[in-house]
Amino acid sequence: MNQLLIEPAPASVRRVGPFARKLGVVLAAAAMLAVGLWITRGPDFVDRVSVSNSSGYGLNVDVTGAERDGWLPISVATGGSTTTTNDVVDQRDTWIFRFAYAGSAAGELSISRADLAKHGWRIVVPGDVSARLRAAGIQPGP
């Protein structure tokens, strides 16, 4: 017969009580939850981005980062006004804005995050955007 099944453990061996086992399970579950939340966390956001558009065109405005790994539509910037979009995904160090009207590309603007923050998270649509659309024979809509 197996000697371990017959003889009791020596007095110097301490057994883990039920509370310690439960505490170990709770701590392990908390650690797994923390790691899971960290792994699946979403992107960072900036509170708002404003687009000042002095052209007569209602421009579709998209944004991407330096990697250009996908464009995010952020607004339709009404001509002659400033449009503000809340909770925009942070593009990190370099923000690239793309402007289009009626399916026609109208230009891009690249700006550093630091400059964007310095200007109050506000960009101005470059003048060459409307000039490019007019040169292509595209007139602003009603």
> Is 91 a domain residue?
yes
Q: What pTM does this model have?
A: 0.74
Q: Is residue 5 part of a domain?
A: no
Pairing mode of beta strands 122-124, 45-53: parallel
Structural domain total, the chain: 1
Is residue 81 in a domain?
yes
Residue 130 class from Cβ within 10 Å (0-12 exposed, 13-18 middle, 19+ buried)? buried
Can you give the CATH number for the domain in which 89 is found? 2.60.40
- Specify if 115 maps to a domain: yes
- Domain residues for 109? 45-135
Cα 124 to the center of its chain, rounded Å: 22
β strands within 6-136, DSSP E? 45-53, 59-64, 72-77, 81-89, 94-101, 104-112, 122-124
Q: Is residue 129 part of a domain?
A: yes
Question: Does residue 18 lie in a domain region?
Answer: no
120 domain-assigned: yes
- Model pLDDT for residues 76-94, shown as the tens digit of each residue: 999 999 999 999 999 999 9
Task: Summarize pLDDT for 90-141 with one digit per residue, the tens.
Answer: 999 999 999 999 999 999 999 999 999 999 999 999 999 999 999 999 988 7
Q: Is residue 51 part of a domain?
A: yes
Please report the sign of the dihedral spanned by the C-alpha atoms of residue 68, residue 74, residue 80, residue 82: negative
CA–CA dist 70, 105 (Å, integer): 16
